[in-house]
Structure 1
Amino acid sequence: MKKILSITSLVLLVIVSGCSKFLDKKPISSVSPTNYYNNEAEVNAAVAGVYSIAAMEFMWGGRIPIRHNASTDESFYSVTNQPIGPWWFTYDASDVTVTEMWTYLYSGIERANVVLANIGKAKMDDTKKAVLIGELKFLRAFYYFTLVQYWGDVPLKTTPSSSVNNVDLARTPMKDVYTFIEKEMKEAEAAVDVVTAIGNTERISRSTVQGILARVYLQWAGEPLKATAKYEDARQYALKVVQSNVHELNPSYSQIYINECQDIDEWKECIWETGNWGNNSDANRIGGRIGNENGVKCSSSNDQVVGYAYGFNSTTYKLFNLYKAGDLRRDWAISTYTLNATGVKANIAANNIYARNCAKWRREFELLRPLNKNYTPTNFPILRYADVLLMLAEAENEVNGPANAYQYINMVRRRGYGKPAGTPDVTADLTGLDQTSFRKAVQDERAMELCFEGLRKQDLIRWGLYLTAMRDQALEIKARATATYQYAATAAERVSERHLLYPIPSNEMSLNKLMVQNPGW
């Protein structure tokens, strides 16, 4: 996060309590809010610490898209020597990956709470201060949104921890947490800068807030709350992004991801990205795992040629075959080759579908040298304009039917076929669908456009399709895959209703006496 974190994201780490629990007991430094937050530089450093959570390898810089969302109808976790974890559905409340996610989300919330409680005393321009408050409120709300998606009811904490003994906090009903998220994001919308004033993809802009709020409303409208009136809110907020007239689709689908590998800000399409940077050997250590764990499989041993990649995420037969002839996205999103130790390509056999990895972020496009075996400078797109268009198409269809929704989905499809997004195209365009068939078309389009971007699991859950999709995937793998990949069917068969939510981490259950575990755990 070179434009934000290089200020020094480490500063906040010595102000806020450690992150072994979101109501942790022991500060790791004598620095405290009473002798900090005096000026703009100190406030900016503290805000950078709140941003830094999103870019971590444990969050959107790695594990959220790569591990927490590995097992859906579009992908499976293609590693057999890591048999325990969410990707295998062989986890429990003590699982390290689940615990890390919970811990870091609440760490980000606590950091935001501390800065919001102390920013008022800083001697700095009031306009700049108001913008930072908006960014902090949005980030705190976004972290809460992620918590309710994965855990349901969660403790809602909006003030800094004041006592080492006050660690008991009951879960707040999901609906109330959503209400808080809505309020905070609307306040942020009025406060943050427009993207044209910011000029990069890493800072929260008004478009970021509006696009993510549309995502919040769609999740709220679906399972489990089924607040269907929120479809209209989703429509309105996605429409705000479109009607701002500052965003557009990159004419080249592949260039989106090449830009992210090469640290090129392209905010017209990529509205919000993680700010990963460097080879993780510098002082800031803000490299991530994008392209390393989920890139084209590569056994490189030369840090000057091409970076090593594990290929942990592989395609399903279903995703591969959703793409129709002429759709250029398939052979960019899904690998057609692997790379050996010297960077030489070896093509994958045409009928070997399950051997194909996620290929959106390819280490061969990284410019930084030397390359790190396990870390990349590659940004991850938390929100793209294509996602906003598809959310708008979905919400418009739910509210008014498909008549006015075609324009949005067809823009995305045209780009996928290499055509100008604003020009009708007989090959790419959808027509003649009723509301039900258009809904299915949007669901399929989101898979083709947004695959491997950490959205599919929650999409399937809110549509009420996750359990069915995983059962179908198990049957499909059994019927179509060779013996080499039958383990993926075994994993999919383990999915049950309890997997719609994660368990509350066991250390939280032991320390927080008011905490209640999720059903089935």
Structure 2
Amino acid sequence: MKNKIIIFLSFVLLSTSCLKEDPPFLSDENLFTTDEGIKTAVNGIYSSIAGFNYYSSDLMQLVDFHSGMLQSTRAQDQNAIAALNPLPNDTFVENVWKASYQAINRSNETIMGIAKFQEDPSETALNELGQAHFIRALVYFNLVRLYGDVPLRTDKLNIENLDAPRVEKDSVYQLIISDLKLAETNLFDKSVQNIGRPGKQAANMLLAKVYVTLAGNESGSEYWAMAKEEALKVYGHYQLVSDYNTLWHEGTRNNNAESIFEIQYNQANSGNVIRLHTPSNAFVGQSWGRVLLNPEVIDQHMGQYPNDPRFEATVMYNYIKYNSDGTENGEQKIYPMVARTSKSKAFPFVGKFWIWDPKTPTPYSDANLTVMRYSELLIMLAEITNEIDGPAAAEPYINEVLTRARNSEGGDGIQPENITGLSQDEFRMRIMREYQYELLGEGGEWFRNRRRGLEYFTTQVVNVHNDRVALDGNQGFDVTYDDAEKAMLLPIPLTEINTNLQIGSDDQNPGY
């Protein structure tokens, strides 16, 4: 009998290895008896989404490489996840799932702890509770879009709930919507919220994105009106910074007037994002330089707005190389400055997360990661309004974004011109490109590319990329996308299938 108990306990430890934290997240529930203790717990939730396996590195690589618009310098990534063909045991697939449920479990413990120990919570405690609901909603929103049906966990992890089945997406979205409404109720207004924390308008912004996602490609969906109601609660509470370039410069990029929600990195986490985007030969320190832009997205932007200053801020295609001793080592020219004749010249880097001081010995900086900003709200309002009231009513929102762009440093005050005179169908397609021109490389491509369904993803992303590859003759440095339907979701991680008794191989997503 004793041996059977030992075997069972060993199995339990194995089966919870992807969820259980060691040491535990909270070792003392008395933390929830004071406002300061509650803040400590909520800070722990933030640290989980700012960590290496989530917004600091792995989530960004996952959604970039599998987006259909970006590429990797690493062959192992290029031939698998960046070819829209990841395996269920892919590092990013596994790590993002694990980090997601770590953040969810921490949120659950915090929400339950506040309810247990706070009969009459203070405004501060309620604000922290709102943040816990906000983060849980954000993480579940990412999960359900990436993996489809997922386990729905709302309780503290214990021996009774170790295993959980995948549930229908509708149930997950119900929790997300409920969480965001609670967040709106409890969060401080952004005007008085602590710097770096989401105000109630951030909950409105995220809820608007949820409703837009649920509307999909259905013009008559009731969710468009629901999205507009939430988006209008955000409109006017933030403002565009006057110069697009300052969104990416030291001293002006963090917690500015345009930021709705951003991850407050420490230097190590910030360094990971910088390393993902800056190659080692661009400065004297060590870096990765993994994230690259596909040529078709370059062609689209240049073709639409040839003099757009946002292009120069977004695309790094020409820089000075440096040796480790600080001496210059020539110039690196990449597409579109030169022809695509080799992989080293075929894919430009994302310039938004770049090391601006080439003499710095480390990639560490002050840079945060902005998850939602006001220009996205304006573009989204334009998209929503076009569906409800037509393009003429939608134009003012997108033209706010374009006006800022053409008047930014490096612009000519002419390009990009305001949008006018498009039909509803033309505006609908154009606005999806406007997201791209404004937000490219900021982590949203995966979600936007699939939000309007398989046909849109196939015709506007997969086929466009494959046509561009064919144009170059695929000289061995590019990949062709094969199965668009399969790539609409990621695989359920192999670890989850092997350890969760309520999820088996038959529950895997189609094609994997």
TM-score normalized by structure 2?
0.85
Q: Supply the distance in 2 between the matched residues of 1:97 and 1:343 (Cα, whole angstroms).
A: 36
Q: Which residue of 2 aligns with 1:478?
A: 470
Q: Does 1:180 align with 2:159?
A: no
Structure 1 residues 227, 399: CA separation in 2 closer, same or farther (over 3 Å shift)?
A: closer
Q: Identify the residue that residue 327 of structure 1 maps to in structure 2.
A: 308
The CA deviation at 1:39 is 2.2
Q: Call closer, same or farther: CA 1:148–1:432 in 2, change over 3 Å.
A: same
Distance 1:106 1:404, change over 3 A: same
Q: Cα distance, 1:234 vs. partner? A: 1.3
Q: 2:211 is matched with which residue: 210, 217, 233?
A: 217
> What do residues 289-341 of structure 1 show as CA deviations (whole Å, max 9, x unaligned)?
2222123x3415635xxx74515222423334324132111111001313322
1:266-415 paired onto structure 2 within 5 Å: 266-278=255-267, 280=268, 286-295=269-278, 297-299=279-281, 302-303=284-285, 308=287, 310-323=289-302, 324-341=305-322, 342=326, 344=328, 346=331, 348=333, 350-352=337-339, 354-364=346-356, 371-373=361-363, 376-415=365-404
- Whole-angstrom CA distance in 2 between matches of 1:427 and 1:71: 29
Per-residue deviation at 1:352? Answer: 3.6
**Which one of 217, 235, 239 corresponds to residue 248 of structure 1?**
239
* Number of residue pairs aligned between Structure 1 and Structure 2: 477
What are the within-5 Å matches in structure 2 for residues 9-158 of structure 1?
21=17, 23-24=19-20, 27-28=22-23, 32-80=27-75, 82-83=77-78, 85-120=80-115, 121=117, 126-158=122-154
Aligned to 1:487: 477
> CA-to-partner distance for each residue in 1:93-135, whole Å, 9 max, x for gaps?
2222101101110110000111111124269961111111111
Structure 1 equivalent of residue 6 of structure 2: none
Q: What code does the residue aligned with 2:244 have?
A: Y
- Specify the alignment match of 2:3 in structure 1: none
1:223-276, Cα deviation, whole Å (9 max, x unpaired): 6x999211111112111111xx331111111100114xx475343211111111
Name the residue aligned to 2:499.
511
- Report the more deviating stretch, 313-322 or 250-259: 313-322
Sequence identity (%): 22
**Which residue of 418, 440, 450 corresponds with 1:451?**
440
SS state at 2:56 partner: coil
Residues 1:238 and 2:227 aligned together: no
Contact 2:246 2:253 (C-alpha < 8 Å) held by counterparts: no
Conserved? CA contact 2:14–2:499, under 8 Å: no
What is the identity, as a one-letter code, of the residue corresponding to 2:496?
E
C-alpha contact (below 8 Å) 2:204/2:231 kept by paired residues = yes
Quote the Cα distance in structure 1 between the aligned partners of 2:230 and 2:327. 45
Kept in 1: contact 2:462–2:484 (CA 8 A): no
- The 1:501–1:199 alpha-carbon spacing in structure 2 relative to 1, beyond 3 Å, is same
Whether the 8 Å CA contact 1:151–1:502 is kept in 2: the answer is yes
Aligned-pair CA distance for 1:28? 2.3
Q: Within 5 Å, give how 1:153-168 maps onto structure 2.
A: 153-163=149-159, 166-168=161-163
Assess, with a 3 A threshold, how the Cα gap between structure 1 residues 343 and 466 changes in structure 2: closer, same or farther: farther
Specify the SS of the correspondent of 1:59.
Answer: coil
The answer (yes or no) to whether the contact 1:78–1:311 under 8 Å persists in 2 is: yes
Aligned residue among 161, 165, 174 for 1:170 = 165
Structure 2 Cα separation of the partners of residues 470 and 99 of structure 1: 25
Rate the CA distance shift 1:298–1:288 in 2: closer, same or farther, 3 A. Answer: closer
Residue type of the alignment partner of 1:294? H
- Separation (CA, whole Å) in 1 of partners of 2:41 and 2:220: 36
For each residue in 1:337-373, what CA deviation from the matched residue of structure 2 results, as whole angstroms up to 9, or x when unmatched? 133223757252624463321111221159xx96435
Distance 1:129 1:87, change over 3 A: same
Letter paired with 1:248: Q
The Cα offsets for residues 34-75 of structure 1, whole Å up to 9 and x where unpaired, read as 454332222211101111122223222223333422244543
What is residue 204 of structure 1 aligned with on the other side? 198
| Counterpart Cα distance in 1 of 2:473 and 2:290 | 18
8 Å CA contact 2:391–2:422 kept in 1: the answer is yes
The answer to whether 1:496 aligns with 2:478 is: no
Q: Which moved more, 1:227-236 or 1:457-466?
A: 227-236
Give the corresponding residue for 2:4. Answer: none
Q: Which amino acid aligns with 1:112?
A: S
Q: Which runs of 5 or more structure 2 residues have no equivalent in the other structure?
A: 1-12, 341-345
Distance 1:497 1:266 in 2: 38
The answer as to whether partners of 2:254 and 2:367 remain within 8 angstroms in 1 is no
- Which residue of structure 2 lines up, in the alignment, with residue 258 of structure 1? 249
Tell me which amino acid in the other structure corresponds to 1:346.
Answer: E
After TM superposition, give the deviation of residue 159 of structure 1 in Å.
1.1
Amino acid in structure 1 at the alignment position of 2:127: V
Moved more, 92-101 or 383-392: 92-101
User: In the aligned structure 2, how far is the partner of 1:59 from the partner of 1:175?
Assistant: 24
Shift of the 48–288 alpha-carbon distance from structure 1 to 2, 3 Å rule, reads farther
Secondary structure of the corresponding residue to residue 271 of structure 1: strand
> What CA distance in whole angstroms lies between the structure 2 residues aligned with 1:392 and 1:42?
39
Classify 1:507/1:54 alpha carbon distance in 2 versus 1 (closer, same or farther; 3 Å): same
**Cα pair distance change 1:439/1:480, threshold 3 Å:** same
Question: Is 1:193 matched with 2:188?
Answer: yes
Q: Distance in 1 between matches of 2:438 and 2:15?
A: 35
How far apart are 1:21 and its partner, in Å? 4.6
Bigger helix fraction? 2
Do the aligned partners of residues 197 and 376 (structure 1) sit closer, same or farther apart at CA in structure 2, a change above 3 Å counting? Answer: same
Shift of 1:154: 1.0
Greater Cα offset, 60-69 or 398-407? 60-69
Secondary structure, counterpart of 2:260 in structure 1: strand
Instruction: Supply the RMSD in Å over aligned alpha carbons.
Output: 3.0
Once the two structures are TM-superposed, the CA of residue 222 in structure 1 deviates from its matched residue by: 0.9
Distance 1:377 1:479, change over 3 A: same
Contact 1:67–1:77 under 8 Å retained in 2: no
